[in-house]
Amino acid sequence: MSIQRSVQIAAVTLFGTLLIAIIVFTLDVNAIRIGGSRYDELRDSYHLEANSRSPALYLVEPFLEANELLSDPGHEQAHARKLGELHKLFDDEHREWMALPLTAKLKIMIGSTTYVPAQQFWTVIETRLLPAIKQGDRAAAASALADARKLFAEHQAAVLPYLEEIDVYQDELIDAARARMRWIAAVLGTLACLLLVGLGVGSWLMIRRLVQPLAELSEVTSQLAAGQDLPVPHTAGDQELGRMARAVEHFHRSALERAATDARDSAEKRKMIDALADVLMRMADGDLRKSLNFDFSGEYRSIGENLNLAVNTLRTMVQNVVSNATSISGSAAEISAASADLSTRTQSTAAALEETNAALSQVDTRLASSRDAAESTAMSASRARTAVDQGLARARRAAQVMEQVRGSAASVDGVMEALDKIAFQTRVLAMNAAVEAGHAAEAGKGFAVVADLVSQLAVRAEAEAREAREQLTATTARIDEAVTSVAEVEQEFGSIVGDVATVAELIGQLAEDSRAQTIAIGEIGVALRQMDTATQQNAAMVEQTSAAASSLLDDARTLVGHADKFQWERRHEQLPVTVDRRAPAGSGRTNEALQPEAGAFRSAA
């Protein structure tokens, strides 16, 4: 049997035993644990005993309340209500007791022996005692209470054996639980012994068939790894250990063959390494003139070819670096000079922008003053126009009043004419009265005097009416002249209103133009300030560019210095001179800083 099969059987046996122990322990302990079935039965019995000993079951408190009905007059309703509550509590408890899983004897005691006298007690209380108390019949109430007392005593006598039976039932439950615990302990002890025996036998078999052979095989494997040539044990077995031993022996033979092959390859690799080291040391010293002249064989041939290609490529790259470093140095110097020139021009531009901004600020201030004056003038013109409009309105009202006065004068003229006619008719009547008085002789003398007086008054009234009419005619003429003058004033005021409106419109346009110019100059000022800021930023960037160009020039010189360490065939001295393309034509200015140091490109040929 293989080791794997043996271990599987042992594991299944061990786990099966443990599973049986767990099942037995779980089922039995679950029955007697707190909350288990046995515990519930015992708890219900104690609960039943506690309830049975309560006043409700004994009918002690109901009997007390029944006595209070007679001995405590004035509180009958309270005692009656309390009796109703106690009866309901008794019925609820009795239903709960009947639902418990008790013995048949206890069921009979609860449902019949103790219940019948209790029910009779409650019947007497509710059908005889309470109605008698309500009707005020104390004799009937006393008789009912005496019957209730007998039933109470009968019920008490039935409860005592019932309590003794509950104690017996509890003892039986406790004994059953103890017996169950002893049985669980015996079963678990037996299973534990079986597990210990199984573990002992399994451990002995494991040590004899697996651990000890593995230790021997491990020791031999360690010695083989140290270089000793020893026979591998347990190679004849057909189990996993035998297959492992044969694999170790195969690995040992393969290692011996590989060691012999490695020894043959070591000498050839040493030669290749020496040749590679010689070329790499020359490259480290900057000598790029010599390539690898050792012929690598087999799979290492590509290494030699790639190394020679790398040397040639590096030589070409260094030559290009040396060639381009001078050009970079010249370009960096030109950038530096151009940056300095651009910095100077940028500073000049910044100063000019600052002066322009200051001048625009002054112009903006003056335009603001002009705008304020124009707005003030426009407001004055508006007020003048308002005053002229008010004067024109008053002139029109005066003309209307004059027209009304002229109409009134015409009416008065008619009245005067009527008065003149009345005076004339009065005078005629006075004359007629005088004639009639003359005819009357002595009898008409008084009437003649009155007629004479009336005639005089008529003449005087006619004269006054004529004079008033003449004055009214003169007044009408003057009113006509005043109406004409007011009309002329109205026309003049209309002309003034038109002129003032034109002036106000022109002044408003002037103020609007001033505001537009102020806004435009403000926008120009903002643009100039932005240009000034951009110019300053450009100046800072130019300075940074100049510094970067100087740093680039230094780096190029450093690069040329490092490249000077490399050597190759036909290297000639080079002294390039870079002309500053930014210098003015004909100035002959050259950038002497670009000339490399003497001997910077020495010939190593």
Answer yes or no: is pLDDT of 599 > 50.
no
**Cβ(148)–Cβ(129) below 8 Å:** yes
What's residue 294's pLDDT?
A: 63
Cα 547 from chain centroid? Answer: 47
Q: Of residues 99 and 547, which shows the higher confidence score?
A: 547
**Cβ(118)–Cβ(59) below 8 Å:** yes
CA 55, 58, 59, 63 dihedral sign is negative
Per-residue pLDDT band for 33 (boundaries 50, 70, 90) equals: low
Q: What is the pTM of this model?
A: 0.30
Superfamily of domain 318-563, CATH level 4:
Methyl-accepting chemotaxis protein (1.10.287.950)
Per-residue pLDDT band for 54 (boundaries 50, 70, 90) equals: very low
What's residue 16's pLDDT?
A: 73
Q: Convert the pLDDT of each residue in 143-186 to its tens digit.
A: 988 888 898 888 877 777 766 777 776 677 777 777 777 777 77
**3-state secondary structure at position 156:** helix
Q: Which residue has the tokens 């697996």?
A: 210
**Cβ(232)–Cβ(220) below 8 Å:** yes
Answer yes or no: is pLDDT of 591 > 60.
no
Answer yes or no: is pLDDT of 312 > 70.
yes
Q: Convert the pLDDT of each residue in 544-555 to its tens digit.
A: 787 887 787 787
What's residue 380's pLDDT?
A: 76
Instruction: Name the residue ranges covered by the structural domains of the chain.
Output: 3-216, 318-563
Highest-pLDDT range among 1-5, 53-57, 584-588:
1-5
What's residue 236's pLDDT?
A: 65
What's residue 596's pLDDT?
A: 39
Answer yes or no: is pLDDT of 242 > 70.
no
Answer yes or no: is pLDDT of 45 > 60.
no
DSSP secondary structure string for all residues of 442-498 = GGGHHHHHHHHHHHHHHHHHHHHHHHHHHHHHHHHHHHHHHHHHHHHHHHHHHHHHH
d(CA 326, CA 323) in angstroms, rounded, equals 6
DSSP secondary structure string for all residues of 517-575 = HHHHHHHHHHHHHHHHHHHHHHHHHHHHHHHHHHHHHHHHHHHHHHHTT-B-TT-----
Per-residue pLDDT band for 584 (boundaries 50, 70, 90) equals: very low
Can you read off the two tokens belonging to residue 78?
Answer: 């309270």
What's residue 594's pLDDT?
A: 36
Answer yes or no: is pLDDT of 439 > 80.
no
Q: What are phi and psi of 508, to 5 degrees?
A: -60, -45
What's residue 513's pLDDT?
A: 75
**Cβ(467)–Cβ(491) below 8 Å:** no
d(CA 177, CA 32) in angstroms, rounded, equals 6
Q: Count of CB atoms within 10 A of residue 9's CB?
A: 12
Answer yes or no: is pLDDT of 78 > 80.
yes
Per-residue pLDDT band for 111 (boundaries 50, 70, 90) equals: low
Per-residue pLDDT band for 565 (boundaries 50, 70, 90) equals: low
What's residue 281's pLDDT?
A: 75
What's residue 222's pLDDT?
A: 76
* Gyration radius (Cα) of the chain, Å: 72
Q: What is the mean pLDDT of residues 17-28?
A: 68
Answer yes or no: is pLDDT of 128 > 80.
yes
Q: What is the mean pLDDT of residues 565-588?
A: 46
Answer yes or no: is pLDDT of 374 > 50.
yes
Answer yes or no: is pLDDT of 329 > 80.
no
